[in-house]
Amino acid sequence: AIRRVVNRASERAKHERLAQMRQITRTAELSDLLMNQRTEQRAAAIGTLLRSVIAITVWTIAALTILPLLGVNVAPLLASAGVVGVALGFGAQTLIKDYLSGIFIIIEDQYGVGDMVDVGSVMGTVEEVALRYTRLRDPSGVVWYVRNGEILRVANRSQGWTLAIVDIPIAYNENLDRVREIVEAVAVDMDEDPDYDDLLLGRPSFAGVESVSGEAVIIRITAKAAPEKQVSVARTIRERMKTAFDRAGIVVPVVVRQLPNVPGGQNPPRTGPRAR
């Protein structure tokens, strides 16, 4: 029954598309909708928890039912269960801590199966959320088993949305209003392109001037992206802005970076005929 419920919830979640969120402009509404779409991961995690609880309950009832049939008096066992429970509580504090932490992790939806998380000691994709441990696979393919009681903080990169930030230098004497129009035209094209339905969660925007120097003016473009897609969105924005700037004749200057001085605060001395 649990497997059927989980599969049904997962299938319902798969029919939802990120393209439906394009019309949402407010960040709070977008976050609420994205959190509601975590049905698949949450269903898988809660399904694992329920299967574990039901398995323990069923086996306990089965043992208490079978033992009397074998001639074993379970009354003394039940009477001593309280004493044994206290002893186990002192001797298995770490185990109880792991189980309680696992229950709260699942109920509070801190992460689910398929999420990319950073739990402090390791970062990877969640493959299983059990009561006692969480199984992760890091980017190199190594599988990690992290005890739930040892997880003090969680950075979830798959919940809600991410922000793609692109900084592009332009010549100091370029018209910023003209540059803004070009950026907005590229943003409209990307927003209307169905190829970006799984990447973009809104139209890219011209954030403004990030910094000004004698060589260039740095403009910033931001876009809300799907979880773990901010790098792909940033690369696409750079590619399309480069093409648009080339067509419009916008000059992207070469920004010269000064090399750091050697220890002591002085540059290396010149050698040869020009040393004088």
pLDDT of residue 222: 92
Q: What is the pTM of this model?
A: 0.54
pLDDT of residue 17: 47
Per-residue pLDDT of the chain (276 residues; tens, 9 = 90+): 877 877 776 666 555 544 455 555 544 455 555 555 566 666 776 777 778 778 888 888 888 888 888 887 777 776 666 666 666 666 667 777 888 888 888 777 788 777 888 888 888 888 888 878 899 998 888 999 999 888 888 888 777 677 889 999 998 888 899 999 999 999 999 888 888 877 887 789 999 999 888 788 999 999 888 777 888 899 999 999 999 999 988 888 876 655 556 455 455 444 444 433
Please state, in angstroms and rounded to a whole number, the distance separating the CA atoms of residues 213 and 170: 11
Q: Three-state SS for 128? A: strand
Which residues are CB-neighbours of 144 under 8 A, at least 6 positions away? 121, 122, 124, 135, 136, 137, 138
Q: Tokens in use for 235?
A: 């690369």
Contacts 24+ apart (CB under 8 A), 252-255: 252/168, 252/169, 252/170, 252/171, 253/169, 253/170, 253/171, 253/172, 253/215, 253/216, 254/215, 255/169, 255/213, 255/215, 255/216
pLDDT of residue 219: 92
Shortest CA distance to 161 belongs to which of 187, 199, 109? Answer: 199
pLDDT of residue 255: 66
Start-to-end CA span in the chain (Å): 88
pLDDT of residue 180: 92
Please state, in angstroms and rounded to a whole number, the distance separating the CA atoms of residues 159 and 170: 34
Strand partners, 144: 136
| Per-residue exposure over 142-156, b if at least 16 CB sit within 10 Å of its own CB, e if not | eebebebbebeebeb
